[in-house]
Chains A and B, each alone.
Chain A
């Protein structure tokens, strides 16, 4: 017997890891996942049949026909809003395109004029996010054909298949935010395929059929709660809130309200993450606004902070998501060939949703077309959810 054979047989009588230990490791991983993603901690999700893809309008830049501000007046307003600390932004090297800044600052003003919804005791603010995004996969048979000695060495050699996957996520904020919140995550749905192979690949993905239709979870004081296999539970990160350098927080009062200071803080929170410092700052703002939990004065500050980010432009004056039209604000990322956009209604300050636009053709998506989008809607409801019936089959 050689040394390798001998060693292979050493310490083989290792006890299996207990299911509680496996579950604890999984819970820790989810806590980490949440810290990075303030929403959608599970892969599961659902469908909203009223949420149908809409073709992208031809991109229009700069020629803002937004009513209420002349170009001069809007620019003057921009300066008025940010001049106090215009040069206080660390490494500040410009700011948004003036037209985009107009829209963002108008949205900020409108936000301050529109007070947050007032909830009566027992009522909840329901924030629903519907999303669709391009998903890439491979056919089982193509993967098997690419195996060498049982291993797939080169994924790039396999023809990718694409389809659009839908998700649905709901948060119910309690009138008293220290009471229990609730959140629902529905199972993912297949929203669109691109031909027979795409359809086949989607059918091979068990995410659309396996498991329950959705999860309903309690969140005491807005914090996620996990049941542990040993009967205990673990309190995790906030359902709402924002990500920081080393985790997440739902205490908005810790953020500066002054836009340039806020932008500095956002840069600090994100470190080296993302395709670029400025692009990541815009993504952070979009991610945070998407949750629908940001108090009005901080929403306004975030819009104003976005107006200070270099390279931010208006990309679509008539962007429609889920039946609501707004103005798309985005930033081209040279490194990723993808533009992240937020869509807002500058007249009300409403955050309508977001889109990811392919700057180069990618799979079935033509250059200039969306690879994914999410739409956010809010309403006041009189009771907490008791089931996941809102998850469409």
Chain B
């Protein structure tokens, strides 16, 4: 029986142990989301704590069939106490973090160099994002939430989600395009790139 999360959470108000089903369904998603932001070690604690908080606040659940936005929102809030750790991790982002990135658009000879440059710029851009914009962006990319889901997760209007996401994307795009421009610079031996933003 495919029981919607909302029904299980409703049932757990009468029968608290039913909430274990929510854990079984979503602990992996919450863990992976947290692990991609903070690393596996901290993510274990975040994942466990997320469900403890969710259980004690289950009366507040206003979602429908899918509890993921609600759970990822709680996880996001819990992760804020580790904001410095996360920012540090983004700034130290390695090329291996993008191991699966298809770099066939980059000149083969410069691939390694460009991948390093790309990840460094991407990481720094992420670290510099305002917390709310970063949460929005990463709920979208790592949490696989749509606008509505992010709106539920962060308790903000969909319009705010849209503007935060646009702003975050713009900043990341600028960082990536800067890298691409430098590729051209290297290929043609001329400096055509715009002046880099402060980083």
Residue ranges of A at the interface with B (Cβ–Cβ < 8 Å): 1-4, 6-17, 21-22, 24-26, 28-30, 32-33, 36-37, 40-43, 133, 135-138, 140, 143-144, 151-155, 201, 204-206, 372
Residues of A with C-beta under 8 A to B27: 17, 22, 25-26
Residues of A with C-beta under 8 A to B51: 25, 29
* Central interface residue in B17, B24, B44, B140, by most chain A CB within 10 Å: B17
Closest residue of chain A to B21, judged by CB? Answer: A43
CB of A152 within 8 A of CB of B4, answer yes
CB of B17 within 8 A of CB of A3, answer no
Residues of B with C-beta under 8 A to A155: 4, 6-7, 64-65
Q: How many Å lie between the Cα of A43 and that of B98 in the bound state?
A: 43
Q: How many Å lie between the Cα of A21 and that of B41 in the bound state?
A: 10
Residues of B with C-beta under 8 A to A11: 35-36, 97
* Central interface residue in A8, A133, A204, A206, by most chain B CB within 10 Å: A8
Known: A40-B17, A137-B1. 12 other contacts (CB 8 A): A2-B169, A6-B98, A12-B36, A12-B99, A33-B16, A33-B19, A37-B16, A43-B20, A137-B3, A138-B4, A143-B2, A143-B4
Give the shortest distance, in Å, between B14 (CB) and chain A (any CB).
7
Give the shortest distance, in Å, between B35 (CB) and chain A (any CB).
4
B184 an interface residue at 8 Å Cβ cutoff? no
Residues of A with C-beta under 8 A to B147: none
CB of B7 within 8 A of CB of A136, answer yes
Contacts A6-B101, A7-B141 given; indicate if A33 touches B176 (C-beta within 8 A): no
Give the shortest distance, in Å, between A4 (CB) and chain B (any CB).
6
The contact of A10 among B11, B56, B122, B173, by CB within 8 Å, is B122
B137 an interface residue at 8 Å Cβ cutoff? yes
User: How many B residues touch the partner, as a band?
Assistant: 35 or more
Residues of A with C-beta under 8 A to B36: 10-12, 14
B100 an interface residue at 8 Å Cβ cutoff? yes
Q: How many Å lie between the Cα of A59 and that of B44 in the bound state?
A: 53
Residues of A with C-beta under 8 A to B3: 137-138, 143, 205
Q: How many Å lie between the Cα of A187 and that of B175 in the bound state?
A: 57
Give the shortest distance, in Å, between B169 (CB) and chain A (any CB).
6
CB of B176 within 8 A of CB of A29, answer no
B80 an interface residue at 8 Å Cβ cutoff? no
CB of A33 within 8 A of CB of B55, answer yes
CB of A13 within 8 A of CB of B1, answer no
Q: How many Å lie between the Cα of A201 and that of B2 in the bound state?
A: 11
Residues of B with C-beta under 8 A to A153: 64-65
Closest residue of chain A to B140, judged by CB? Answer: A4
Please provide the 7 A-B residue pairs with the shortest distance between their CB atoms, ordered closest to farther.
Answer: A152-B65, A204-B1, A25-B48, A3-B172, A11-B36, A14-B35, A43-B17
Give the shortest distance, in Å, between A142 (CB) and chain B (any CB).
11
Contacts A/B (CB < 8 Å), 25 sampled: A1-B105, A2-B173, A4-B140, A9-B98, A10-B36, A13-B100, A14-B32, A14-B35, A17-B27, A17-B47, A25-B48, A26-B24, A28-B52, A30-B17, A36-B56, A43-B17, A43-B20, A133-B14, A137-B3, A138-B3, A140-B2, A143-B2, A152-B6, A154-B64, A155-B65
CB of A1 within 8 A of CB of B66, answer no
Residue ranges of B at the interface with A (Cβ–Cβ < 8 Å): 1-4, 6-7, 10-11, 14-21, 23-24, 27-28, 31-32, 35-36, 40, 43-44, 47-48, 51-52, 55-56, 64-66, 93, 97-102, 105, 118-119, 122, 137-138, 140-142, 169, 172-173, 175-176
CB of B169 within 8 A of CB of A3, answer yes
* Central interface residue in A3, A28, A144, by most chain B CB within 10 Å: A3
CB of A152 within 8 A of CB of B102, answer no
Residues of A with C-beta under 8 A to B10: 136
CB of B7 within 8 A of CB of A9, answer no
Q: How many Å lie between the Cα of A12 and that of B21 in the bound state?
A: 26
Q: How many Å lie between the Cα of A46 and that of B25 in the bound state?
A: 25
CB of A12 within 8 A of CB of B100, answer yes
Closest residue of chain B to A27, judged by CB? Answer: B48
Give the shortest distance, in Å, between B113 (CB) and chain A (any CB).
17
CB of A37 within 8 A of CB of B7, answer no
The contact of A6 among B6, B17, B99, B122, by CB within 8 Å, is B122
Residues of B with C-beta under 8 A to A32: 52, 55-56
Q: How many Å lie between the Cα of A8 and that of B101 in the bound state?
A: 9
Contacts A3-B169, A143-B65 given; indicate if A10 touches B98 (C-beta within 8 A): yes
Give the shortest distance, in Å, between A376 (CB) and chain B (any CB).
18
Q: How many Å lie between the Cα of A30 and that of B19 in the bound state?
A: 9
CB of A29 within 8 A of CB of B19, answer yes
Give the shortest distance, in Å, between B64 (CB) and chain A (any CB).
5
